[in-house]
Structure 1
Amino acid sequence: MQRNQPRSAPDAPGVPARRAALQLLDAVLRRGLALEQALDQAAQGLPPSDRGLSYAIASEALRRLPDLDALIDGATQRPLPDDAKARFALRIALVQAMCLGTPGHAAISTVLPLVDGGPRKLVHGVFGTVTRSGATLPDPPTLPDPVAIRWHAAWGDQLIEDAELAIAAPPPLDLTLREAVDLDEAVSLLPGHARLPAGTSVTELPGFEEGKFWVQDIAASIPARLIGAGEGKALDLCAAPGGKTLQLASAGWDVTAIDVSESRLARLRENLERTGLSAKIVTADLLSWHPDEPADAVLLDAPCSATGIFRRHPDVLHRVRPSLIKEMAELQGKLLHRASSWVRPGGTLVFATCSLEPLEGEVQLERFLAHHSAFAIDPVRADELPAGVAAGADGSLRLLPGMLAEQGRLDGFFIVRLRRNA
């Protein structure tokens, strides 16, 4: 008969949240998962406060990872392997003490239980060396080298400076308004838009329960804005989580929203119910699905590397590789080709990606126009954009993180509106 295995002692207060943060960092850096994708498993069973803390620790560590690692490497005789648990524990302890206001003794005492044996002494020693030295993290943070090299080649020095400033702090909260709401501290950059300080609790705002608005970054709201108001049929492709579907429905369109993920469409269903708007929802793979008839307007916010939303999702700075960018671009090309056949003559096709990679934007457009002579760019007008933002010479729109810096910046996007002429 086997002896009963001894039960491990329960974690001390504060340790479960740090254990979840370590699992989140491991999921992003070693397994290439999105931070939010990994959250449910890493924080399983934790109360909301610990769940939120684990996410905050991991997110801030990802914002400042190159600088945290530089401090760690400067305090060790030999560099720790990138995937060493001791390095992960030190990242968590240091980012708490240096960025999140956690007292040093609490920052280190809650991560030591995550490390066994000799590395525990190493972690304690390195943490003490760094904190006693009075070292600080640079402000703004440093971009990871592979990202800086790639973006510098595409956009130059200014983009690197702007991107580093953009990741220094979580971005403000943007709302798309279905009707006017009196919101303290809100600024408006476009009709039907409100921007509030980072950390604002959405559910506590007046008008939330009545469905008067939904959360949507202003950059993400522009693709549907370019379609405008209408009464015909509109297709929202890759629709989840649904902000653009809500925009089109509130603008009068008869909307069909298609996405491959039923779980992500659940959020769209909830928002439709809350706002009282209506749309037909279809769970399907766009590579095999097709509509019964052409539509007056088709919006393809295509799957992409999501590098343009790095300030909200800093994990993309570390898990997106050139191979993924290439893979996403190939998928976008297939989807764009299929979507083009679903637009009636005279209709509108809007293509967008939340990416800072030219392969997922400018290059994609060039390839499409070379093989689809029935389509031409319908230039984005100045009155459709926030003051200070302008379309390119060809009429397409490239949004960069340095734009509207004084108003809180923009996410990175590529957007083009196309008209089918035949």
Structure 2
Amino acid sequence: MSNNNLNPRIQAVKEITAILKGDNYKPLVYEDPFYRSLAGGAIRRLGEINFYLKKYIKKPLKTEQSHIKANLIIGATQIIYMRVPAYAAVNDSVEIAKKSSPHHVKFINAILRQLSRDFENNKLNKSNILMNIPIEIIDKWKNIFSEEQLIKIVNQHLVIPPALDISISPKEDINEWKINLKGKILGSNNIRLINSYGKINKIHGYDKGKWWIQDIAAQLPVKILLSKIKKNTNVIDLCAAPGGKTAQLLTNNLKVTSLESNNKRTKILKENLNRLNLTTKLIVKDAAQYKPEKLADAVLLDAPCTSSGTLRKNPDILWRLSYKKGNYFSHMRSVIDIQRGLLDSASKMLKSGGILIYSVCSLEKEEGENQIVDFIKKNSRFIIDPIKESEIDITKKAITKEGFIKTLPFFNSEEGGMDGFFIARIIKIN
């Protein structure tokens, strides 16, 4: 096989290797459809594939041999889930091994041939789709969700490619953009593209700056703020990058101050707002150090989190953390501390009677419900302002009995699901 044809496979092996080591890796051919199917399929089915391979790997491979394991995973993905002829998949992995691990060519060849024979003869060990989330996380989630909910969450995680949501400026004709983008309208100003392979900057209208990428769940924090405030209200958007929520606020005629502490993310925020021809008062500073000239009418805090609610779009995120031994939970503890500090900072920026919107794209109660309940207990000047079903234009079952929003990845599954989000609205009383 030519190097050009091998390249997506080589890049996929590199990405899986990075995941097994708990590292980050940005592939060079991310937009290649075959690469996305191959790497995406391998990541989404990583637990099951590991389970299948365990039967043939008698001695566990060391961390420094992760590239060998990754090569086997990519080969197995093609055989089991992509219906690539076994001889072709085995040959590809052998060719890759010749370049990266020549001493293990026979080892890789033997394992993949045996796996392909067992697959053809229906002799693979019986797996469980819950394996595709790291076991320590699944064990924790069993205390939060029912088995039926867990299965639905994982099933949504397995969909390739996930739906792509585009938020249209309220000044635009959404029906016209629906036709131009060949998508489906969801909610009041969102268009969903189901088959979203390819570069985003090649999608119709990208250069016109009339839309931005934003999941339907990620739009909700601003929507429940808009239902409570008037035009020209002063709003502070904390942790503003990449800019979707700032764009929502600006296109709804609000006076916005966007705060971002990370220089790299600030650059992305500027690029996105420039493309959209939008201008905000941008402050590059840590929230704890920022003192507004006058207290805000509203503060929007979309806080850093584990991002566990985005696993349908970022299937690697939990595995990368899991392979850093114990790091998912240590990471969660660290972001909970950050969230607590940001809530404290946000509360001091708000005038009496002002509104604070808190959101995280996480499924963890510690980052959502528990965080807000704890904040209210410690801050007597704040009360929960229950969100009503009439305020949201997507799934009504997202409203909890406490008046929070809690979306799950399988909500709206018939249309491609949505990100898992927790959202609360609280008011600073006199």
Cα distance change, pair 212–157 in 1 and its aligned pair in 2 (3 A): same
Give the equivalent residue in structure 2 for 1:4.
none
> Partner amino acid for 1:214?
W
Checking the alignment, whether the CA contact within 8 Å between 2:168 and 2:210 is kept in structure 1 is yes
| Distance verdict in 2 for CA 1:313–1:60, change over 3 Å | same
What is aligned with 2:44? 63
How many residue pairs align between the two structures? Answer: 402
- Classify 1:302/1:157 alpha carbon distance in 2 versus 1 (closer, same or farther; 3 Å): same
> What is the rounded CA distance, in whole Å, between the counterparts of 1:401 and 1:49 in structure 2?
24
**Distance in 2 between residues matched to 1:294 and 1:329, nearest whole Å:** 25
Query: What's the offset of the Cα at 1:376?
Result: 1.1
Amino acid at match of 1:296: D
TM-score (norm 2): 0.86
CA distance in 2, matches of 1:76, 1:206: 48
1:213 Cα offset (Å): 1.2
Gap runs ≥5 in structure 2? 322-327
TM-score (norm 1): 0.87
Partner of 1:125: 110
Tell me the distance in 2 between the aligned counterparts of 1:268 and 1:319. Answer: 25
Identical columns (%)? 29
CA distance in 2, matches of 1:77, 1:47: 34
> Relative to structure 2, which stretch is displaced further, 174-183 or 74-83?
74-83
- Looking at structure 2, the residues matched to 255 and 404 of structure 1 have their Cα atoms a distance apart, in angstroms, of 31
Distance 2:222 2:351 in 1: 18
Aligned to 2:354: 347
For the residues of structure 2 that align with 1:221 and 1:129, how far apart are their CA atoms? Answer: 48
Q: What is the CA-CA distance between 1:263 and the residue it aligns to?
A: 2.1
Greater helix share, structure number: 2
Q: Does 1:116 align with 2:101?
A: yes
Equivalent pair of 1:86/1:122 in contact (CA under 8 Å): no
Question: Relative to 1, partners in 2 of residues 1:110 and 1:147: Cα closer, same or farther, differing over 3 Å?
Answer: farther
SS in 2 for 1:271: helix
Are 1:326 and 2:333 counterparts?
Answer: yes
Q: Distance in 2 between matches of 1:287 and 1:100?
A: 49
For residue 243 of structure 1, what is the aligned residue in structure 2? 244
Q: Does 1:90 align with 2:72?
A: yes
- Kindly indicate whether the alpha-carbon contact (under 8 Å) linking 1:63 and 1:141 is maintained by their aligned counterparts in 2: no
Q: Distance in 2 between matches of 1:64 and 1:47?
A: 21
Is the Cα contact below 8 Å between 1:375 and 1:419 reproduced in 2? yes
- Corresponding residue for residue 145 of structure 1: 135
Instruction: Supply the distance in 2 between the matched residues of 1:319 and 1:367 (Cα, whole angstroms).
Output: 30
Question: How far is 1:53 from its partner?
Answer: 5.5
The answer to whether the aligner puts 1:338 opposite 2:333 as a matched pair is: no
Contact 1:329 1:359 (8 Å CA) reproduced: yes
Aligned-partner SS, 2:49: helix
> 1:117-152 deviations in whole A, cap 9, x for unaligned?
432211111111111222579695733211211111
Q: CA deviation at 1:47?
A: 6.2
Deviation at 1:383, TM superposition (A): 2.0
String of CA shifts for 1:284-339, please: whole Å, max 9, x gaps.
Answer: 22232332221111101001111110111111221331111111101100110111
1:177 aligns with 2:141: no
Question: Using a 3 Å threshold, how does the CA distance of structure 1 residues 150 and 141 change in structure 2: closer, same or farther?
Answer: closer
The 10-residue stretch of structure 1 (244-253 or 400-409) with the greater mean CA deviation from structure 2: 400-409
Structure 2 counterpart of 1:412: 420
Root-mean-square deviation (CA, aligned residues, Å) is 2.5
